[in-house]
Structure 1
């Protein structure tokens, strides 16, 4: 063996171009999605570690849409003739933007990158920003899915979380979404809230189910660094209560027809979030907007992660670049990067997807895979990569086997 340019051994006589050709033979460009980050909120919640900032009296909609389209222009070389399978407006609170601004943005995006005929376009919204006419206009633009940040229906819990809506507004938001023409919407709901009992958590879940969303994101509150809750932690439920909430909640969701397909995602038949599934199956995504991240592959199998300028004032400054950094993933990082995503899925993925998404032979996983199977964290199935029930509960322990 002789050393390759990156310090890895390669077969004697195999040139870099030959090695890339071999990789390309077993690598096909994955589906492509677009993430659009809109960083403003009415106010910052104490648990939130996303790149969000309190909005001023006027949002710079026109300037920000101009910047988003210029940002996308700079990334067009990464598209490689692919069509967008999904678009996700995240934040922040994207529903603070007018339908006129979002319409101009969508028109500009489609002029640059073609849409699949059945493209899924999701907008995050908070109940405190719901206006019937505005959301009807969003639907007319082609936005066909909403993700509504409920978190809880109980007044004391909403107050503890710093939310701007009350329980009644949360219920009305779901009804207004349906009246505006959205037959596909997600509700975001938290459990393990400050002082929450099992009965309170299940009451929230029952109220959410009663609103008949097609999808539920139901996840435990965690204390994240760089948040108010991290520096001033509230009193959260004990571990045994958290465990009871998790088990009882999952049983209730299953009984009501919401199948769990990812760690915290539950859906009616045919209503899984396609944008998120693209993340979890190691697909590609462009990221535009302040602090947006992207994962992009080229036809040779090289995979690049990029991230954009974080602060809105810097992102809007024409003297500053949109992109803040990039990193090319090394060969020995790919198993962990791939499995960190796909093992979140309760059904896992076909084992062949590893080669399709990374260009590496499945044999690269053999040693770590055997160790994880022996520990009972990975299912013993040569045709699939799937965590066991224990592996899903202790996903970080499972992923340790695949670290470079």
Structure 2
């Protein structure tokens, strides 16, 4: 399948603004690859995912992904890829052969760092576990397994198609396949969930000894089944008890919280996500994928791709649906919205390095945030206090202009 598509995007937010300083060094570069199909759409999911047909258009989609990547190569500027993340949807629905051809094509276009992290999202179903060995042989060196819960009633309420036994086996099979680095994705605040239910899930996950745990509260998002037909969720007091007890349990077992909902063993945070949160660059390819790309002249551009798979695969349509150059006024919020999710924040020097704006331009809002007890009084770091982490939206509002 060939694609002869215009690379001309729709331009939004292109108002004239004062010049921004050239970036002395471009940030690290990552690649996000979106594979939008799932066996079934979960009722809580607001991601760009679509129910898969019996036969997936693997070959056509890989061709499209590589053609999409070709149109973003102008923004590489000689950098190598530090990480790749296959997200979805359910990327592990694709065969190892298709993913292998894709990875080979990517590496022919952009060199890989010698220690590149390549993560694949996978579900615990037996069908996908059988592919783990083949995925590892391709150079994929990290899995993110979507467990959500180990309890059958909770899995059914969430619309998940695996069972608790499969979830337990998936971790073992990942390790047997050679994955010494894997994440388990777990939710709390589930329909009718008690404190003991939530801690039981967490204890089971910890017993499987993942290197990383994503542990986060279920939220009801617009345009989902749960939004239109909300289930009965735990009371706020129970949610608070779950959060406090769960964080203590994770810390007790050596999982340090380094981001709002991310916990890792020493030396095992997700490098791909750290790049997002430290305002690094990432190319996004695939249906509905988003990207953020810096240019040496100081321009920082967010991009988004055509959302529906049928349109993304249509040669008559552009891969890119739109782009927006960030203005100077938007930059503080955009940078800190990511950086302040990290429990330790970031070094202050990253702000001028990655935005082209002076640290002094933050001074007034920074002082107000510090006086409010939301931002740490630390000249060399930009980091929220414990209170600031609890009221992150309030903290970020201070940097809106």
Distance 1:54 1:399, change over 3 A: same
Distance (whole Å) between structure 2 residues aligned to residue 80 and residue 94 of structure 1: 28
SS in structure 2 opposite 1:138? helix
Give how far 1:130 is off. 4.4
Match of 1:39 in 2: 36
Give how far 1:261 is off. 0.2
Distance (whole Å) between structure 2 residues aligned to residue 288 and residue 175 of structure 1: 31
Bigger relative contact order, structure 1 or 2 (CA pairs below 8 A, ≥6 apart): 2
Give how far 1:205 is off. 0.1
Match of 1:96 in 2: 93
SS in structure 2 opposite 1:402? coil
Distance 1:130 1:272, change over 3 A: farther
Unaligned runs of 5+ in 2: 1-13
Unaligned runs of 5+ in 1: 10-18
1:174-193 matched pairs, under 5 angstroms: 174-193=171-190
SS in structure 2 opposite 1:101? helix
Distance (whole Å) between structure 2 residues aligned to residue 8 and residue 268 of structure 1: 44
Give how far 1:27 is off. 3.5
1:153 aligns with 2:156: no
Match of 1:14 in 2: none
CA-to-partner distance for each residue in 1:207-263, whole Å, 9 max, x for gaps? 000000000000000000000000000000000000000000000000000000000
Aligned length: 388
CA-to-partner distance for each residue in 1:132-187, whole Å, 9 max, x for gaps? 54110100000000000000000000000000001000001111111111010000
1:221 aligns with 2:218: yes
Distance (whole Å) between structure 2 residues aligned to residue 193 and residue 285 of structure 1: 32
Give the ranges of 4+ consecutive aligned residues of structure 1 lying more than 2 Å apart after TM superposition: 5-9, 129-133
Distance (whole Å) between structure 2 residues aligned to residue 305 and residue 160 of structure 1: 36
1:209-288 matched pairs, under 5 angstroms: 209-288=206-285
1:75 aligns with 2:52: no
Structure with more of its chain in helix, by fraction = 1
Whether the 8 Å CA contact 2:189–2:239 is kept in 1: the answer is yes
1:103-114 matched pairs, under 5 angstroms: 103-114=100-111
Length-normalised TM-score, structure 1:
0.94
The one of 377, 382, 390 aligned to 2:379: 382
Whether the 8 Å CA contact 2:294–2:300 is kept in 1: the answer is yes
Whether the 8 Å CA contact 2:184–2:214 is kept in 1: the answer is yes
SS in structure 1 opposite 2:398? helix
Distance (whole Å) between structure 2 residues aligned to residue 6 and residue 155 of structure 1: 53
Distance (whole Å) between structure 1 residues aligned to residue 199 and residue 24 of structure 2: 45
Distance 1:299 1:340, change over 3 A: same
Distance (whole Å) between structure 1 residues aligned to residue 123 and residue 275 of structure 2: 24
SS in structure 1 opposite 2:145? strand
CA-to-partner distance for each residue in 1:253-307, whole Å, 9 max, x for gaps? 0000000000000000111000000000000000000000000000011100000
Length-normalised TM-score, structure 2:
0.95
CA RMSD, 1 decimal: 1.2
1:96-175 matched pairs, under 5 angstroms: 96-128=93-125, 130-175=127-172
